[in-house]
Structure 1
């Protein structure tokens, strides 16, 4: 079994070679029934959209091509075992938490957790203990987690079963996972890493170390975000003796579809193969192009590019992520994002009141970098003429809130709608999630404060979109009824 093998793709192609007759699902029958534009665009890809039939293995009990592909992926990403995920990194985060903690047990989680982690806490009926990442004041975003913060939270909650951390963050900032793993393991806990944005780290020495290299027990990666898998295709990597593998496999069956897409599975296999055979060279050209572009952007007086030199705490930063402070243009990030999208046909990953975020991958080179740099720098002449105005800049995105109830307790309770400005003192009955990046500002069971209400209003007025809430306009929010406040 060599790295040039692509087991799942080969199994599918072998099946198609024999002109098979389809008397099984899916209903479009190997693409024949795909209608109109979708059928035209998918073309031959529809023939690959198969199901668990002889020769194609079974994701939930792999013995053939899928098992071989997962083994090859484990070797490529530095894991002992790798599991393919067709329900995105969400499924991996859910499975990690359900494996690590039982109902009522404590797990240490960062305040900048993704909403899927909170959903995992609800399903596991776990008791979260929140700790806080550093806040990059200049950009108003979550930075890495200080080693001392981990040491303090672990010492204060020795009974916790695991610590979960987000590294890299959405903005590409990486914590010192190696030192954190040592602290967590000395306390007898598992280290779980939401590494959704770091699938590419394993394939170039200029990139930060992976969670597996650093000693994590489990790590989830969105292979589709920074490598060549199709959207929703991800991986869960496992290493070390602390993970109950049988328990993990059972939990994966709870959160994964019983009808996994073979297009997604094949794309994971192909993405791994591509990185092992060509990845280093492709990463090298992308990193070099982005480095040159960053140098050009550094000469721009009205733009501020986040990198390791201006990130307090000695945190590493993924060079393929550009967090660009745009307040020097006298515009909000949302305004810059919209301008680039409408006027330049350039769509960035996200915006917030202060910044825009651009994601580069192994596919990008000088042309792609140059196009973005020119579009950004073209905004600068107007900035010189712009009238100075205050851009709303929230100072603290991730604040400590009083929790009256555990998330799963609040999740089960009835709620009522109240105006946002009248929610102070009420227990939240829903998550409030600026999206992207998908990080909850408040979770069910926590108490609304005047400070948080003002912060949400600031984001709302700056054009930020919200998920998790019934009223996406953020005029009203769901809270627990008044008589439940003191529960």
Structure 2
């Protein structure tokens, strides 16, 4: 296998095709880019004030590798040749028993996993509350009933991580007929914790653990990175290989291990949700991303981690800007007394405080540098605008935080440019910092108290999980709904999805009972200027509810 790991069988097959010079009598219609090359000798291909209609040489070269299922290129939906070999190499690299290439991003993997475990109408599945919309769409396609699990909220940052082991155990006991458990780890901010206790709880109940690990394709590949979901015992794991590794956009993988997932049914579901004409350049980029990691191992991340370290050292000299970090880091080798009790109960030390394994936020992706203005002068949105004005484009921001995404492709020059930008921003706002310098703790506390995150989208903290909520593709009839003033909605069932955007995580689902806490949260977010999708009333003065 070590020798084979140096090969990229799918990519090499495309190179062979490109070099063969064979005539194309098959799709795609651009005929290896020939349609554009034929224009090079024609006049009037460029109009005044317009760019040339002929693509660049680099783009034309790529089109020569844009092929379809012909002799030698294999078939994604029935692989027997180079795609099969490429997927087997991926499984070896990432520690799976079987891996599948995805050309529709992690969305395709989430849909396929849910359609596999929900193998009968109204199947119950236990799902983390704040999940990507692709999970919600999977529930709708499956006609499933979701029991939503409230995630742990880190008290220091105010951000949701994942459900605690206690929450998962309680839900599993309440719904032993559930088809599986789905969680997201890490979250968008790179925050996470040990997944092993949750995997143990699921397996003791005979349920598969499904993990949306879209932002953790690199996990477990270097000692400084958190453990991968597979190594913690997850049964099905979706990774966006394009996000944190080196594949083309839309390139992702689905990794499987253990006996709890019906792999024959999974292949059928993948064929349903993926194109029958997959992009070969995207699949070849997955093959190359795997080869780079397979051959170089942990050294793949040396340059990127050096850039991160340089940035963090420089940031320490700019005390105004703070870095999000777990208060208590996850122990690599926890002592025996720190192991969770049977059923995943929290372990405590001699003083009764939770151990590192039991805490809800113990691991941070070093490549996700989440910063904020400790002065409280600039919001996350404001800081992002300032950074972009200095040529630094962040991944995302919210009311408080800015996410700066480093990767294996980041350089020391990137870190230096970012630090220079932050230094300029700090100096440009020095006249606003007098009050902060005099009362730093008071000002920071006030800012934290007013922080409202559209990422969290949580319910009343008094309960750990919801009742089953039925999802369906069937729209709710207008005659079965009514519009009610938002302050009078508590106790009714919602007839619409209320989705603060960004990041697009629903706060309220159609058919879900509306709590007073949800009403208050919608009003607070609306007052703060948050934008919403799904609401019939854009002003959010009323909500559509289902008539009893």
Same fold (TM over 0.5): yes
- Cα distance change, pair 46–132 in 1 and its aligned pair in 2 (3 A): same
Please give the secondary structure, in 2, of the residue aligned with 1:141: coil
Residue 370 (structure 1) aligned with residue 428 (structure 2): no
Q: Distance in 1 between matches of 2:361 and 2:542?
A: 40
Look up the match of 1:398. Answer: 457
1:432 and 2:463 equivalent? no
1:130 matched to which residue of 2?
148
Query: Residue 58 of structure 1 aligns with which residue?
Result: 75
Alpha carbons of 1:395 and 1:58: their partners in 2 closer, same or farther (altered >3 Å)?
closer
Query: In the alignment, which residue of structure 1 is the partner of 2:46?
Result: none
Q: Is the 8 A contact 2:303 2:411 kept in 1?
A: yes
CA distance in 1, matches of 2:118, 2:9: 34
Q: Note the alpha carbon deviations across 1:63-104, whole angstroms, 9 max, x for none.
A: 111101000000000000000001110010011111112321
1:310-459 alignment to 2 at 5 Å?
313=360, 315-326=362-373, 328-341=375-388, 343-386=389-432, 392-394=450-452, 397-400=456-459, 406-409=469-472, 412-414=475-477, 424-425=489-490, 427-448=493-514, 451-452=517-518, 455-456=521-522, 458-459=524-525
Judge which range, 399-408 or 281-290, deviates more. Answer: 399-408
Counterpart of 2:199?
A: 181
Indicate the SS of the match to 2:55: helix
The 1-side partners of 2:155 and 2:402 are apart by 16
- Which of 181, 192, 206 pairs up with 1:163? 181
Matched, 1:105 2:171: no
The Cα of 1:127 is off from its aligned counterpart by 1.1
When normalised by structure 1's length, the TM-score is 0.90
Matches within 5 A, 1:137-152: 137-152=155-170
Distance 1:120 1:80 in 2: 24
Deviation at 1:419, TM superposition (A): 9.5
Pick closer, same or farther for the CA change 1:461–1:372 going to 2, 3 Å.
farther
Match of 1:21 among 20, 23, 30: 23
Counterpart contact for 1:460–1:474, Cα < 8 Å = no
Q: TM-score, normalised by structure 2?
A: 0.80
- 1:58–1:66 CA contact under 8 A, matched in 2: yes
Q: Is the 8 A contact 2:162 2:183 kept in 1?
A: no
Question: Are the counterparts in 1 of residues 192 and 360 from structure 2 also a CA contact under 8 Å?
Answer: no
What CA deviation, in whole Å up to 9, does each residue of 1:343-363 have, x standing for no partner? 112111111111111111001
Report the CA distance shift for 1:465/1:68 in structure 2 as closer, same or farther (over 3 A). farther
CA contact (8 A) 1:410 1:445 kept: no
CA contact 2:99–2:253 (8 Å) conserved in 1: yes
**Residues 228-252 of structure 1 deviation map (CA, whole Å, 9 limit, x = unaligned):** 1111110000001111110110111
What's the CA shift for 1:60? 0.6
Task: Tell me, in whole angstroms, the C-alpha distance in 2 between the residues paired with 1:186 and 1:110.
Answer: 19
Other structure's SS at 1:368 match: helix
Supply the distance in 1 between the matched residues of 2:108 and 2:231 (Cα, whole angstroms).
22
Distance 1:461 1:326 in 2: 22
Q: Secondary structure at the match of 1:48?
A: coil
Moved more, 382-391 or 202-211: 382-391
Structure-2 change in CA distance of 1:279 and 1:84 (3 Å): same
Task: Give me the whole-angstrom Cα distance separating, in 1, the residues matched to 2:252 and 2:472.
Answer: 30
Comparing 12-21 and 320-329, the one that deviates more: 320-329
Q: Does 1:87 align with 2:104?
A: yes
For the pair 1:69 / 2:83, whether they are aligned, the reply is: no
- More moved, 89-98 vs 408-417: 408-417
Distance 1:477 1:171, change over 3 A: farther
Q: Is the contact between residue 57 and residue 64 of structure 1 (CA under 8 Å) also seen in structure 2?
A: yes
Q: Structure 1 residues 463 and 210 mapped into 2: Cα distance closer, same or farther (>3 Å)?
A: same
Partner of 1:114: 132
- CA-atom RMSD in angstroms: 2.9
Matches of 1:246 and 1:84 in 2, distance apart?
16
| 1:303/1:326 contact within 8 Å kept | yes
Q: Are 2:278 and 1:263 aligned?
A: no
> 1:219-273: per-residue Cα shift (whole Å, max 9, x none)?
0000000011111110000001111110110111111111101111111001101
> Which deviates the most, 153-162 or 446-455?
446-455
Would you say the 8 A contact 1:405–1:445 is kept in 2? no
Contact 1:469–1:478 (8 Å) recurs in 2: no
| 1:475 matches 2:539 | yes
Q: Which residue of 1 aligns with 2:61?
A: 44
Moved over 6 A (4+): 387-390, 401-405, 416-420
Pair 344,485 (structure 1): closer, same or farther in 2 beyond 3 Å = farther
Offset at residue 423 of structure 1 (A): 8.1
CA shift at 1:297, angstroms? 1.9
Q: CA–CA distance in 2 between the matches of 1:448 and 1:92? A: 30
Residues 329, 383 of structure 1: 8 Å contact kept: no
Comparing 357-366 with 28-37, which one deviates more in the overlay? 28-37
User: 1:102-134 deviations in whole A, cap 9, x for unaligned?
Assistant: 321211111121111111111111111111111
Residue segments in structure 2 that go unaligned for 5+ positions in a row = 40-51, 330-358, 436-442
Aligned equivalents of 1:478, 1:407: Cα separation in 2: 23
Retained in 1: the 8 A contact 2:147–2:466?
Answer: no
Separation of aligned partners in 2, 1:89 and 1:419: 37
User: 2:353 corresponds to which residue?
Assistant: none
Aligned length: 481
Distance 1:108 1:248 in 2: 19
Q: Distance in 2 between matches of 1:287 and 1:187?
A: 39
Q: 1:287 to 1:99 in 2, by over 3 A?
A: same
- Measured in 1, the distance between the counterparts of 2:68 and 2:473 equals 39
